[in-house]
């Protein structure tokens, strides 16, 4: 099926620009000094039970409880991510205390991140969004289904031209649409339920001009190796599954940025 390779490519291919053209790296730079902004939780979560160990109690403000869980998850990622980045030989993250002291009240955009970098005297700033937590992002499911529908339309047109039978072409189209919705609609539900997916969207911003010199999307499923060492009762808890998955995502992020820095410094 054509949708899967396209989806995989979207997840695995990072974007980057020539760093030195934006004042990052260059001759004699061995480690990139980078300000790491606090992780911003932007994941869309409908139900507390999707990310916590129990549903919201009757009468509780479920939205507030969800926001609190996401904020706690982002704060946990902050604590995990900094030492992982510091372990990369090519990276020298600024101390979190210095970064916090330079933060504005509202989460900064790329231009605001660049201003923070200039204020701190570092060449680059890392922005991270926790954009998926406990479920596959809806727009990706739509893209996967849409890719299959496009393929179905093409198959239907070919069938009509070869057989001059519009009903055969329509049948092929409807079959493809049904298959894609079942595969990716139902598949996404199963993926969310059993693999505790976590998505991080990251951008490395040049302090000199606010240009995103590198960006990536990190999507990982449940870290079963980490869960195996925990007591069985802990393994079944949704909050624990998501926590260890988020830690795995942070490791992937640090490794990807370190690899990019090796290429550009």
**Could you tell me how many residues make up the chain?**
265
For residue 67, what are the contacts with CB-CB under 8 A and spacing of at least 6? 41
This prediction has a pTM of 0.76
Please write the tens of the pLDDT for every residue from 66-84: 999 999 999 999 999 999 9
pLDDT band at 235 (very low <50, low <70, confident <90, very high): confident
Q: How confident is the model at residue 14 (pLDDT cuts 50, 70, 90)?
A: low
Residue 57 half-sphere exposure toward CB, CA atoms < 13 A:
1
Cβ pair 62, 48 in contact under 8 A? yes
Round to whole Å and give the CA distance between 180 and 146. 8
214: pLDDT confidence band, cut at 50, 70 and 90? Answer: very high
CB neighbour list of residue 107: distance below 8 Å, 6 or more residues apart: 40
Does residue 40 register a pLDDT over 90? yes
Residues of the chain above pLDDT 90, percent: 52
Domain boundaries defined on the chain: 3-134+196-264, 138-194
Report pLDDT for 113: 98
Phi, psi of 127 (to 5 degrees): -105, 135
Rounded to the nearest integer, the mean pLDDT of the chain is 79
Report residue 6's pLDDT band, with 50, 70 and 90 as the boundaries.
very low
Q: Distance between alpha carbon 75 and the CA centroid of its chain, in Å?
A: 16
Mean pLDDT of 226-247: 88
On whether the 3-134+196-264 domain is CATH 3.40.50.10610, my answer is yes
Written as one string, the DSSP assignment of 126-139 is: EEEEEEEESS--HH
pLDDT of residue 62: 94
């Amino acid at each position: 099926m054509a949708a899967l390779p396209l989806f995989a490519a979207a997840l695995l291919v990072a974007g980057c620009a020539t760093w030195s053209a934006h004042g990052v790296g260059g001759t004699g730079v061995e480690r990139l000094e980078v300000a790491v902004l606090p992780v911003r939780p932007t994941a869309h979560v409908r139900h507390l039970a999707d990310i916590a160990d129990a549903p919201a109690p009757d009468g509780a403000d479920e939205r507030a409880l969800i926001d609190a869980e996401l904020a706690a998850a982002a704060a946990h990622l902050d604590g995990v991510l900094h030492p992982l980045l510091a372990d990369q030989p090519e990276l020298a993250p600024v101390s979190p205390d210095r970064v916090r002291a330079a933060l504005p009240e509202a989460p900064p955009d790329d231009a605001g991140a660049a201003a923070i970098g200039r204020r701190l005297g570092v060449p680059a700033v890392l922005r991270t969004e926790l954009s998926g937590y406990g479920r596959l992002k809806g727009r990706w499911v739509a893209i996967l289904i849409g890719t299959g529908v496009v393929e179905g339309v093409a198959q239907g047109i070919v069938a009509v031209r070869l057989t001059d039978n519009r009903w055969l072409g329509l049948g092929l189209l409807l079959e493809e649409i049904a298959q894609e919705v079942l595969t990716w609609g139902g598949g996404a539900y199963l993926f969310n339920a059993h693999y505790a997916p976590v998505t991080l969207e990251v951008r490395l911003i040049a302090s000199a001009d606010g240009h995103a010199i590198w960006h990536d999307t990190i999507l990982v499923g449940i870290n079963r190796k980490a869960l195996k060492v925990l007591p069985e009762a802990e393994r079944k808890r949704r909050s624990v599954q998501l926590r260890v998955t988020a830690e795995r995502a942070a490791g992937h992020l640090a490794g990807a940025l370190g690899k990019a820095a090796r290429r550009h410094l």
